[in-house]
Structure 1
Amino acid sequence: MTEEYGTDQRPRRRRGRGLLIAVGVLLLLLLAGLVVVDRWGASYAEGVIGDKVAEQVRARKASSDTPEVDIKGVPFVTQVLRGEYQEIQIQLPNFSGPTGTGEQIHLDLLDIRAKDVTAPLDALRSGTGEVVAGTLTGTGTIDYPQLIELIGQKGLKLSEKDGNLVGSATVTVLGQQLDLAGTAKLSVVNGGIRVRFADVKATNLPDLPGIQNAIDSYAGKLGLDLPAPELPLQLKVRSLTPTPDGLQVTFGATNVNLNAGGL
């Protein structure tokens, strides 16, 4: 009679392989569940911060579309346990806010980055307590048609050239039609925006007495002193940069409680 050996070994291998597969599937499901919970927690915290920022916008008599908040970094839960967050991005689409003298500034997007943020878990869960950003940096662009309207001189054209804000216009001076052009000096004064054209010249200047004085007088009318805008999160104007799309304004603030409605 022929004896058979090892007939029971192959089934045991299949059972062992099946067990490993089952364990692997369970681990994947567990990890997927943790990711879902992690993202849900981040989404909830983003909603809490967004609601508080919206309150601050209204308190400044400003307006915007619904704030969009994005807590950077994964996993979220490890940041919660530390009470420290690497960066929180807050976007205010279609933002409009008044200045101290009533003018309205419109920004298609006010993009704010909060860094060195500290917050206890209870502050994010309940919407009370402090969520403090060590530094806040915001950017927004005042487009050139709006800037021209604020200056209030019809026929003025503004653009960016070689990193500078340049203006041009065709005006009639002493019966002569002149093509004027000049470069603006930009500065931040008491949190407000100052624009000055001090070197306006005519490309076709005729040799007539008083023409340059008339040009200098017109250049003086191109000045703009825009008081500090009413912004949420204690943001103040820090710098001005001409771009092809308009005047980019950089805002800043330090040690701001993101969770303080109506701040």
Structure 2
Amino acid sequence: MAEVYGSERPRRRRGRAPFFVVLSLLLILLVGLVVVDRVGASFAENVLAEKVSQEVANQKATSGPPQVTIAGVPFLTQVLAGEYKEIRIELPDFSAPAGTGQDVRMDLLDIRARDVSAPLSALRSGQGAVVAGSVTGTGTIGYDLLASATGQEGVTLAEKDGKVVGSAKFKITQTQSVDLSGTAEVKAADGKVQVRFTDVTARDLPNIPGAQSQINAFAQQMAFEFKVPKLPMNLVVQELKPLPEGLRVTFGASDVTLAAGGV
């Protein structure tokens, strides 16, 4: 009778199954922490956006819904410490009265707050102050708004070679007009934007007594200044830079209350 040999079953490798279980649990935990971190960040951003919106209204200004982004990952460690490296605040379609019957308009007021102190209790309850060590903001004022501030009809402004240049049609007599062009000197002083025109010249200036004197007088009339409206977070003008799309204004402030308690 033939001897029957049974086939030996392969041994299972023990220990690998628990390893994969632990790895899966760690991945699930990690994903959960990331989700909680992002949900927490979104909640804090919404709270700050509401506070900033109220601050804008308090300054008699208007804007689209503020977009707040808290920089830095992970978020929860910043929450526990109550300290944030940077908070970005974007105010689209920003407009504020300049006190001269005009509103200063910017398509976007981009604000960056650094070294922000925001206690967890302030975010959780909506009460308490949120303070930044420093705040900078940038916005662009269109040349059409600046031109209208001259109070002279037919004045156009633009950027050329990093400078603001102006042009206008000026009547020398009842029947004769000349095209004027000149460079504008733009600077910030005492919270105001000042514009003065220099090197104003006329193309095809007729030989009329006193014509150049009239042009010089008109150039002086084109000079203007306007006070930058009171901005959220006590931002003040620090720098002006002519760009093709408009005059880029940089604002700044230090030790700024981004949002006061109880708002």
User: Is the structural similarity TM-score above 0.5?
Assistant: yes
Q: CA deviation at 1:153?
A: 2.1
What is aligned with 2:222? 222
Q: Say which SS state the counterpart of residue 34 (structure 1) adopts.
A: helix
Distance in 2 (alpha carbons) for counterparts of 1:150 and 1:161: 20
Q: Distance in 2 between matches of 1:204 and 1:262?
A: 65
Cα–Cα, structure 1 residues 54 and 28, in superposed 2: closer, same or farther, change >3 Å? same
Q: 2:236 — aligned with what?
A: 236
Q: Hey, what does 1:70 align to over in structure 2?
A: 69
Hey, what does 1:112 align to over in structure 2? 111
Displacement, 1:206?
3.0
Report if aligned partners of 1:68, 1:92 keep a CA contact under 8 Å in 2.
yes
Q: How does 1:173-252 map to 2 (within 5 A)?
A: 173-174=172-173, 175-252=175-252
Q: Per the alignment, do residues 102 and 171 of structure 1 end up closer, same or farther by CA in structure 2, a change over 3 Å counting?
A: closer
Amino acid at match of 2:196: R
CA distance in 1, matches of 2:129, 2:262: 14
TM-score, normalising length from structure 2? 0.91
Per-residue deviation at 1:5? Answer: 9.1
User: Counterparts of 1:43 and 1:73 in 2: how far apart (Å)?
Assistant: 13
Task: Encode CA deviations 1:19-72: one digit per residue, 9 max, x unaligned.
Answer: 322222221111111011101111111111111111111111111111110000
- Determine what percentage of the aligned residue pairs are the same residue: 52
Aligned residue pairs total 260
SS of 2:209's equivalent in the other structure is: coil
For structure 2, the 5+ residue unaligned runs are none
Where does structure 1 lack aligned partners over 5 or more consecutive residues? none
> SS of the counterpart of 1:199?
strand
Q: Is the 8 A contact 2:53 2:66 kept in 1?
A: yes
Aligned-residue offset at 1:126: 1.6
Residue type matched to 1:75 in 2?
A: P
The amino acid that maps onto 2:260 is: A
Q: Report 1:46-61 matches (<5 A).
A: 46-61=45-60
Counterpart of 2:78 in structure 1: which amino acid?
Q
Q: Please say if residues 92 and 110 of structure 1, whose CA atoms lie closer than 8 Å, have aligned partners that are also in contact.
A: yes
- Cα shift at 1:82: 2.5
Q: Cα RMSD over matched residues?
A: 2.1
Q: Distance in 2 between matches of 1:42 and 1:259?
A: 17
Deviations 1:151-206 (A, max 9, x none): 23222121111110001122221343212111111111220111111321113223
Aligned pairs (5 A) from 1:1-263: 7-9=9-11, 11=12, 13=13, 16-174=15-173, 175-260=175-260
Displacement of 1:239 after TM fit?
1.5
1:154 counterpart SS class: coil
- TM-score by length of structure 1 reads 0.91
